[in-house]
Amino acid sequence: MGTRYAIGVDIGGTNLRVALVSEEGRIIDKIKMPSSGDVMASLREAVERLGREGVAGIGIGVAGLLDRGSMTVLKSPNLPSMSGKSFKELGFTLPMVVENDANAAALGERWMGAGREYRNFVLMTLGTGIGGGIIHRGELLGVAAEVGHMSISADGEKCPCGNYGCLENYASARAIIEAAVKALEKGANSMLRECCMGNYYKISPEDIYRAAFEGDGLARDVLKEAGRYLGIGIANMINMMSPEAVILTGGLIGAWDIYIKEAIREASRRAFAGLVEGVKILPSALGGEDAGILGAAALILHEEKVSV
């Protein structure tokens, strides 16, 4: 019998990633496209390109709230064009499974990444938005785990999701950029002003880390403040799920030494001492890029039981 493969798909707020994954968890080939275009068409094309003998099915992780049975995206605040779409439209004949992207990333870390040693952990994806996935007794809890849409500021600003004061509004990449731009508009002195040929509305999170690591006060303040809020969210998750580890993934972990360190400090100060003492707060071991793809593939290759 030849090798078994699965196609793992990760549809996040910014990118669509499609990969051929072997049953040993190796990524054989990978296609990456922006998720701003026609996602369904791009996905069909990528699957056709990667398909080969031995592919057992297609696992899809997608940012948003899903109906697993009908494979429909019910709501996706960071991917509005996907709302209401069903992956059944694709007409693939291979077996298909859909899961929330952060849940898939949690499975990926459990299989091949930083979660291999833990039976109970919370994964948080830190990017444009903030997502979550919960592994309990080694299995993915098939719950929403919308960590980014936990209100941590009762009377905070309205979030596009309908709630107010969501964690995502204070600790995500979007929040960090907004905070930096607001300060620049008010005239704050910062090297970010020279960024993007003077158009600071184009600043990226990477521009902000870079400035912070070079000692820019505004960039450091913005990252620290976002980290403080992230720490509040982490403390809430520790008090709720008493995990052995919290695994952090997504682009923002690039700013570990400022943003995440501040989050760890804040979480340690706030969560129940008896719970937080033993908790490891760790970066993804899959570079923040591949966890979702691998987890989505695991849904097929391991007929991964999702505990719904």
List interacting residues with a copy of itself (CB under 8 A): 65, 74-75, 120, 132, 136-137, 141, 143-147, 149-154, 161-165, 170, 229, 232, 235-236, 238-242, 269-275, 307-308
Assigned token pair, 214: 């070079």
Q: Which is nearer to a copy of itself, 202 or 269 (CB)?
A: 269
Residue 254 CB, nearest approach to a copy of itself (Å): 24
Return d(Cα 290, Cα 286) in angstroms, integer: 6
Residue 133 CB, nearest approach to a copy of itself (Å): 11
Residue 308 CB, nearest approach to a copy of itself (Å): 7
Q: Which is nearer to a copy of itself, 17 or 110 (CB)?
A: 110
Is there a contact between 60 and 9 (Cβ–Cβ < 8 Å)? yes
Residue 178 CB, nearest approach to a copy of itself (Å): 17
Residue 231 CB, nearest approach to a copy of itself (Å): 10
Give the number of other Cβ atoms within 10 Å of residue 108's Cβ.
33
Q: Which is nearer to a copy of itself, 56 or 275 (CB)?
A: 275
Return d(Cα 12, Cα 6) in angstroms, integer: 19
Q: Which is nearer to a copy of itself, 38 or 272 (CB)?
A: 272
Q: Would strands 130-136 and 121-126 be described as parallel, antiparallel, or unpaired?
A: antiparallel
Which letter does DSSP use for residue 195 in this model? G
Is there a contact between 19 and 297 (Cβ–Cβ < 8 Å)? yes
List alpha helices for 214-290, DSSP H: 217-241, 261-270, 273-276
Q: Which is nearer to a copy of itself, 243 or 250 (CB)?
A: 243
